[in-house]
Amino acid sequence: MTPRSDIRFFTVQEANATLPFVSRIMADIVEENARLQELLPALKEARMRTRRRPSAAEELDALRADVAAISARLEGYLKELSQVGCVFKGPQGLVDFYSMREGRPIFLCWRYGEEEIRYWHELEGGFAGRLELEPEAVASP
């Protein structure tokens, strides 16, 4: 597989240099996602109440507005991650960075809360297939 020209490829050091910013974005994503997960059951209940009692529509509208606002903020955070050049892998705090290993593209794998990038996996591998980087790959030049 040859790398696409629109993908940013990172060295371990370059990816690690983005982590202060990426970590702040991920903190926002994790927080907003938690809020969203709290609202979704309330939204479902409000829908059911509104079916039985149309006068409850105001509560449903307010919850929909809250969900829409959170969703818009999440989209903004995802756009920021994309602009950095990394790949969002889930609201649990997973982010991948394209890199090269032995002439082929791979992902450097980072999880929110980790101090630095210490793992990698094949493009198709995912988090479960992540492998530890060799110490020389992690060391600064």
* DSSP symbols for 22-44: HHHHHHHHHHHHHHHHHHHHHHH
Q: 28: Cβ–Cβ under 8 A, 6 or more apart, which residues? A: 73, 77
pLDDT above 90: residue 4: no
Mean pLDDT, residues 125-130 taken together: 84
When pLDDT is cut at 50, 70 and 90, the band that residue 132 belongs to is: very high
Percent of the chain whose predicted confidence (pLDDT) is above 70: 91
CA dihedral 87, 130, 30, 135 (to 10 degrees): -90
**Model confidence band, residue 141 (pLDDT cutoffs 50, 70, 90):** very low
pTM: 0.83
Would you place residue 125 in the very low, low, confident or very high pLDDT band (cuts 50, 70, 90)?
confident
Residue 126 is predicted with a pLDDT of 82
Tell me the per-residue pLDDT of 54-100, one tens digit each, with 9 for 90 and over. 777 888 899 999 999 999 999 999 999 999 999 999 878 899 999 99
